[in-house]
Structure 1
Amino acid sequence: MEGAVEPAAALRQLHEQHGAALLGFAARLTHNPDLARDVVQDVLLRAWRHPEIVASDERAARAWLFTVTRNLVIDRWRSAAHRHETATDVSTLADRTPTGEDATSAVLDRWLIADALRGLSPQHREVVVAASYEGRPLAEIARTLGVPEGTVKSRLHYGLRSLRLLLQEKGVTAP
């Protein structure tokens, strides 16, 4: 998308290049073709509002489009409006359990956190996973890595801080 291209033409080109893939991606995430079309429309509207994305190189624009698609799907799953906007057949109400919705939210949360963990340096990720997810004590982590315990504490501190920033960039806010 090099050169001075009119925003509407650039957006049309972006849709032609990535629209079908975005729709397929959104459909796999939502399991609802109507919702998937709405999400893709919202993504393209956001791209139109951010001409720097439309004008960026194709790879960066594609990555941005897919990230925004994923984040919008996650936001819709978490929103109260999602729970109230879906049409419900009265006969299926007895079959619904909160654990199904909780499980979906938990899966999306794990996916979001795993994606953010990949953004950490290997040293920070290793310590954060060992301490926060495996529940290992700092002294054990230090012995395993062959570094002083103070280094593990420092890596954990800066790793968690970086993880929080990465999650904030993805739209996650603290409760």
Structure 2
Amino acid sequence: MVGLPGKRHWFRRAPTETFSEGNVCPIDRVMRSTELRFPRAWDSVLTAAQVGAGWALTRIFDAYGGPIDGYLRSQGAEDHELMSNEVFLRAFRRMSSFSGSEEQFRSWLFTIAHNLLVDERRRTANRPEEVQLDELAQARADKARAAETVAFEELGSDKVQAVLSTLAPQQRDVLMLRILADMTCEDVAKTLGKSVGAVKQLQRRGLESLRRELTLEPVAQHHDTSQLGAVEMTA
């Protein structure tokens, strides 16, 4: 059975960058996490990982541990590090049956992460109300603030964090999977159990909200096309 190599928490936080006007566009920085990690060596890494080669499993985790953990943190997972480990444990246990490109593998990882989040939310919803209402309200407020603080922390942009926290949950889910995981509308629809049309509508509304709040015009001078536009064009 595949296990994590010698550590309870395998996650290593990516360095935080500070965004300033004229520097890298916030959405551009999100898209950095979706670039292929093994553009020329994916087949060899996958083949080695499928037979349990430790070096290959470690390289995969090092490549995608940060994005997966960032997604779980931004969605308010109760123990994002533990859940991140569980994502990779499940993936590695089923690695021998996986067949596909690196893009497909990345989408598969984020689908596993999303399903774990859904399971946690269901458990939380069904949890007996054993605390006083004021304590429960405070706990929820603390959790909401924590989710806002860690959301897209690697962006270094408080404004982006604040805007994302105001989006409707379904809009946020769609944009996180479309931008952070670089999943197609079809893959997002399968992951969320929605129609492609519904995903595109949620994406459009979410992007409209982001455009209203984020001031990207000065940054656009340094880029031929903003990533917001790129996402919309591929819808």
Alignment TM-score, normalising by the size of structure 1: 0.47
Identify, as 1 or 2, the structure richer in helix: 1
Q: Which structure ranks higher in relative contact order (CA pairs < 8 Å, sequence separation ≥ 6)? A: 2
Alignment TM-score, normalising by the size of structure 2: 0.37
